[in-house]
Structure 1
Amino acid sequence: MPESRSRKKATYTPPTQKAAVKPNPRWWVPVMLGLMLLGLVWIVVFYIGRATNGSSLLIPFLGGWNLAAGAAVIIAGFAMTTRWR
């Protein structure tokens, strides 16, 4: 009986080893957590300043954009968590 064409495939070759994933530098986690905490403190100080004297204690000319600045710092910290190994 004739052999089918599918049997003439090359022999199995195992996949090659992937390169080892390098760990993050030692400063990665402290900077990541520091950014998240700094953003949180920025927002809390902004709201406390608004509640006590009606103006911002941080950067006065930013006004309500201080909230966006604090959120941007927090987002930068969370973005670092995607690269944490």
Structure 2
Amino acid sequence: MAESKVRKQAADKQKRKRLSELAEQRAETARLAPGGRNWVPAVFIPVLLFGVLWMVVYNLAGQDIGFMRSIGDWNVAIGLVLIVVGFSGMTLWK
């Protein structure tokens, strides 16, 4: 009878060890990927739309708007950068 008690204690010890290792893995995973990413759509959608809007306004009325006329063809670069940043933000969304 004493031998089965030792076996049971060993099995309990292994089980506790596995549970503690699992808890450590979960803690490490939580540390590496903190929080949710619910903010991502609220950021990338307006940035993307602002880039498209910038391009449309520049092409339709860019010569009539003072600051757009002063920066010239850099308006295309600004619009494209905003669009690329918006699409890049989509990759962060889970």
Q: Which segments of 5 or more consecutive residues in structure 1 lack a partner in the other structure?
A: 1-15
Could you say which residue in structure 2 is the equivalent of 1:23? Answer: 36
Work out whether residues 40 and 92 of structure 2, in 8 Å CA contact, stay in contact via their aligned partners in 1: no
SS for the counterpart of 1:59 is helix
In structure 1, C-alpha distance between the alignment counterparts of 2:82 and 2:64, rounded to whole Å: 18
Equivalent runs, 1:33-48 vs 2, <5 Å: 33-48=45-60
SS for the counterpart of 1:84 is coil
Aligned length: 65
TM normalised by structure 2 equals: 0.57
CA root-mean-square deviation: 2.1
In our comparison, the structure showing a higher alpha carbon Rg is: 2
Work out whether residues 32 and 80 of structure 1, in 8 Å CA contact, stay in contact via their aligned partners in 2: yes
Q: Percent identity?
A: 29
Give 2:81's aligned amino acid: A
Please list every run of at least 4 consecutive aligned residues from structure 1 whose deviation after the TM superposition is greater than 3 angstroms. Answer: none
